[in-house]
Amino acid sequence: MFILGVLVIALQRVGVPAGSFIFPVAPLILLVFLAILFVRGAVAVSGVALSIWAIFVAFALALSATTDTSVTSVIQIALLWLPIAVLPRNLSSNRFLAGAVLATSVSGAFGFIQSTVSAAMPVFPDPLASLPSSILVPGFNDTYAVVWGGHWMKANGGLFLEPSFLSLFSALALLAVLTGAVRVGRWRVICMLTLLAGLLSSVAVSGLVLAPVFLVWAIVRMRQALPYAIGIVIAIPLIRYLPQTAAIVDRATNVEGTSDSMRLVLPYTNLVPQALQASPLVGLGPGSAHAITLSLAAQGSDGLITTPTAAKMIYEYGLVGVVFLALAVLYLGTRSNMPGLFVIAVLVALIVPTDGLTSGVLVPVSIFALTRVSDRDLRAQRIQPTSELARIPARRELITR
Q: How many domains does the chain have?
A: 2
Span 25-35, average pLDDT: 88
Please indicate, yes or no, whether residues 245 and 117 belong to a single structural domain of this protein: yes
| The last residue of a domain, from among 253, 274, 291 | 253
The lowest-confidence range among 4-8, 278-282, 344-348 is 278-282
Helix and strand totals (H; E) in the chain? 20, 4
Look at residue 225 and tell me if it is in a domain: yes
| The last residue of a domain, from among 209, 233, 253 | 253
Please indicate, yes or no, whether residues 184 and 238 belong to a single structural domain of this protein: yes
59, HSE (Cβ side, Cα atoms, 13 Å): 20
Instruction: Say if residue 222's pLDDT is above 60.
Output: yes
- Residue of 297, 253, 289, 284 whose CA lies nearest to 271: 289
Q: Cα(50)–Cα(56) distance, rounded to whole angstroms? A: 10
Please indicate, yes or no, whether residues 322 and 222 belong to a single structural domain of this protein: no
Instruction: Say if residue 85's pLDDT is above 80.
Output: yes
Burial per residue of 247-276, b for 16 or more beta-carbon CB atoms within 10 angstroms, e otherwise: bbeebeeeeeeebbbbbbebbeebbbeebe
Q: Are 239 and 248 in contact (CB under 8 A)?
A: no
Look at residue 396 and tell me if it is in a domain: no
Look at residue 362 and tell me if it is in a domain: yes
Look at residue 271 and tell me if it is in a domain: yes
pTM for the model stands at: 0.85
Please indicate, yes or no, whether residues 235 and 115 belong to a single structural domain of this protein: yes
Please indicate, yes or no, whether residues 106 and 240 belong to a single structural domain of this protein: yes
Please indicate, yes or no, whether residues 105 and 239 belong to a single structural domain of this protein: yes
Instruction: Say if residue 306's pLDDT is above 70.
Output: no
Please give the pLDDT value at position 157: 93
Question: Tens digit of pLDDT for each residue in 371-401?
Answer: 764 445 445 444 444 333 333 343 333 333 3
Please give the pLDDT value at position 400: 34
Q: How many residues does the chain have?
A: 401
Look at residue 163 and tell me if it is in a domain: yes
In sequence order, which residues have a C-beta less than 8 Å from that of residue 106 and are 6 or more positions away? 194
Look at residue 142 and tell me if it is in a domain: yes
Q: Are 368 and 43 in contact (CB under 8 A)?
A: no
User: Where are any strands of DSSP class E within 140-262?
Assistant: none
The boundaries of the domain holding residue 291 are: 18-92+257-387
Q: Is 241 exposed, middle or buried (0-12, 13-18, 19+ CB in 10 A)?
A: exposed
- Residue-by-residue DSSP string for 57-71: HHHHHHHHHHHT--H
Please indicate, yes or no, whether residues 298 and 345 belong to a single structural domain of this protein: yes
Look at residue 150 and tell me if it is in a domain: yes
Q: Is 164 exposed, middle or buried (0-12, 13-18, 19+ CB in 10 A)?
A: buried
